[in-house]
Amino acid sequence: MKRLLYTLALVLISMIAPAQKQHFDLVSYSPPKGWKKVLNNDAVIYSIQEKKKNTWCLIKLLKNTPSKGDIDADFQSEWQLLAATELSISEPPATTETAEGGGWKIKSGSAKFQFNNKEAISTVTTMSGFGVCISVLVNTNSEEYVPAIAAFIESLEMDEIKQEAAGNTTTHLETGNVPASTGGFAFTTTNFDDGWTSTVREDWAEVTRGTLKVLIHYPNKQADAYQSVLKDEDLNAWKILVAPRYAAVSNFEWKSIQSYESISFMEADATDLSGRNVHLVLFKKHYPNGNGRYLEFVTNSRAEYEQTFGPYHSESYGWDSPANMQWRNKFAVSAPDLVGKWGVSDYASLTYYYINTGGTAGTTATSTTNEFTFLTSSTYQSEHNGASGMIGNMKFSSQTYKGTFTTTDWEINMTNRFEGRPEKFSCQFEAVKGGRILVLTDRQGTVFMLGKSK
């Protein structure tokens, strides 16, 4: 029971997502392969049964409900509802210590019960934060499913959520490190040395040069939704991002390539709403860390597109010319833009198993939080916390810096950093719907993708 309990307690709260995941309610996840799936309004359920061995397992991810105000109250409520009452469990659950990450608190508990005259175990893992709680229920009668359970739990990624200033109403934003802020930024246009110009629009960053136009679409929950078949995923994105803005589309071709870094490629001729005839390409490179964006190329003809970005080819490599347009969602930073709190949290874990017995050999985990607070247009404070090592014997670190800063369009210089020395960061904004992501890169090349919380 302890093995299953500690495995389930390792929830990924803020980790850059893999390229292909499914999504339910406020959670993205990787489903267990080969398991039966049932989806309803309240939960998504995965189950497996092996009749010859008389073993079975059920994983149930439930829709969020309003929080009762703290993790202990939320866990107890969820345990009573999902396990104690449903399975007639009278003994109190064995629970983990409360863990924290990305604004969420996590607690897990397990207890035994009898099913068909065989001992089984029920585990509830509850995540509480931002005015809501989300739980995962696992019931099983065999430890052979622990690797699949662990993989599911460790794949969980929570959507970014902001809590409104008044009341307990919550608004859930797009998946990824999206800042909970709006408007008022000094720079909305970037002129690149090679003639391209980027401009912030409501739903995309628009990059133009002469008659060429590229729309870097912002993260979009519906358009980016996982589909088990790449073609279905791409056609869904086309339907949402492209089709509504054109009066007629002809000669449509889906030419995507499935690989380690899949390439989404669709093209067609179209007439826009003003009556202009154009050639369209919807492109996306699926990077392993999940930060690929859909790019919409709008040109006068296929020949014009291919002259600038290269012809289509059936291999998954050699797409740098169109793919690199994504990085032109880049805007300068001014000191007044920075005032407020910006942060990011990351958590990852790895469970080891003995080859001969299948028993657990322990779990390592790493958790970091980095928070920069710009108090005024010239003073700052930053906090950097980390924990790493084997679960139960982790080492912790914490560092706080305070000082002044100055900024140019693309650099921030901070005083009183490590050992009191100054430090220079390269900086830029990436536009997203309703706000910006602050991207800082330090002298070691470490990149901080920071969302604004206050």
Q: Does pLDDT of 299 surpass 90?
A: yes
> How far is C-alpha 419 from the geometric centre of its chain's CA atoms?
34
Q: What is d(CA 41, CA 32) in angstroms, rounded to the nearest whole number?
A: 20
pLDDT at res. 176: 31
Q: What is d(CA 442, CA 165) in angstroms, rounded to the nearest whole number?
A: 33
CA angle in degrees (0–180, nearest 5) for 149-49-63: 50
Same domain, 341 and 305: no
Q: What is d(CA 264, CA 295) in angstroms, rounded to the nearest whole number?
A: 10
Nearest 10 degrees: Cα torsion 12, 328, 384, 102: -30
pLDDT at res. 273: 76
Q: For 331, which DSSP code?
A: B
Q: Is residue 175 part of a domain?
A: no
Same domain, 324 and 235: yes
Q: Does pLDDT of 8 surpass 60?
A: no
Same domain, 152 and 279: no
Read off the pLDDT band of 318 (50, 70, 90): very high
Q: What are the pLDDT digits (tens) for 158-194? A: 887 654 332 333 333 333 333 333 357 899 999 999 9
Same domain, 14 and 125: yes
Whole-number mean pLDDT of the chain? 85
Domains of the chain: total: 3
Read off the pLDDT band of 335 (50, 70, 90): very high
Q: Which residues of 140-177 are buried (b: 16+ CB within 10 A; e: fewer)?
A: bbebebbebbbbbbbbbbbbbbbbeeeeeebebbbbbb
Same domain, 48 and 148: yes
Residue 367, domain CATH: 2.40.128
pLDDT at res. 39: 84
Q: What are the pLDDT digits (tens) for 419-440? A: 999 999 999 999 999 899 999 9
Q: Which helix (H) or strand (E) holds 24?
A: strand 22-24
Q: Is residue 270 part of a domain?
A: yes
Same domain, 299 and 154: no
Same domain, 313 and 350: no
Q: What is d(CA 275, CA 87) in angstroms, rounded to the nearest whole number?
A: 64
Last residue of a domain, which of 165, 200, 227?
165
Same domain, 147 and 221: no
Q: What is the number of H-type helices and E-type strands within the chain?
A: 8, 30
pLDDT at res. 166: 29
Q: What is d(CA 279, CA 399) in angstroms, rounded to the nearest whole number?
A: 53
Q: What are phi and psi of 418, to 5 degrees?
A: -60, 125
Q: Is residue 174 part of a domain?
A: no
Q: What are the pLDDT digits (tens) for 23-82? A: 888 899 999 999 998 887 778 999 999 888 889 999 999 998 888 888 999 999 999 989
The answer to whether residues 176 and 433 touch, using CB atoms and an 8 Å cutoff, is: no
Picking from 263, 245, 247, the residue whose alpha carbon sits closest to that of residue 206 is 245
Q: Is residue 374 part of a domain?
A: yes
